[in-house]
Structures are given as C-alpha cells and as structure tokens.
Amino acid sequence: MNDMTWLHNEALKNIDPQKMEVINNLVKETNGKPIAQSIPYLMKANKELSKKGLEFTPDETALIMEILTKDMTIAEKEQVKKMQTLINSQLKK
C-alpha cells in the first residue's frame, strides 16, 4: 500500500506509540500481498506486541483490517471477513 493516507485516520490518534510502530511495520510488510500471504505477518505483529505486554483491542484489529483491505475488491473483502469469522471461532474454543 503506497497510499499513506491511513496515517491520518482519527482513530489512530490515541493508539499507543508502540502499537503504531507495529501497525506501520505490518502495513509495510504486507504491501501488495494478498491477505492469505499477510496472515503470518499479522501473527508476527501480535507476538511482537505480546512480548511487550500489549495486545490489539477489537477496535484496533478492525481498524488494521480496514487499512489492509482498503484497496481490495468487494469479493476479496468478503473472503477476508469469512477468514476472520473462522479464525475467531477457532480462537474461542
């Protein structure tokens, strides 16, 4: 994603600077990759935060997904939603 306008999103204003660093790295690492190839980077970001005693809130996770899927087609976004639902259901078990 070469479009960096996401940095001006008001919802990012109050996010912890350590989380912002992880989000920024995540966006750079997943730039141009399909969501399926981006999943390892999402997992890496969560592990990185966990090591720092932090985690993304549900709202932050939703915002990250919005940023990562910004340039996707509607069909691709639907596929991402299905994957999120599946992953969330597996995590709740």
Number of Cβ within a 10 Å radius of residue 85? 10
- Are 12 and 20 a contacting pair, CB within 8 Å? yes
Average pLDDT, integer, range 28-34 = 85
- Are 57 and 12 a contacting pair, CB within 8 Å? no
Average pLDDT, integer, range 81-87 = 79
Q: Where are the domains of the chain?
A: 15-91
Average pLDDT, integer, range 63-76 = 85
Q: What is the DSSP letter of 62?
A: H
Instruction: Inform me whether the pLDDT recorded for 26 exceeds 60.
Output: yes
Instruction: Inform me whether the pLDDT recorded for 87 exceeds 90.
Output: no
Instruction: Inform me whether the pLDDT recorded for 53 exceeds 90.
Output: yes
Per-residue confidence (pLDDT) for residue 17, from 0 to 100: 92
Using DSSP's 3-state secondary structure scheme, residue 50 falls into helix
Mean pLDDT of the chain: 83
pTM over 0.95: no
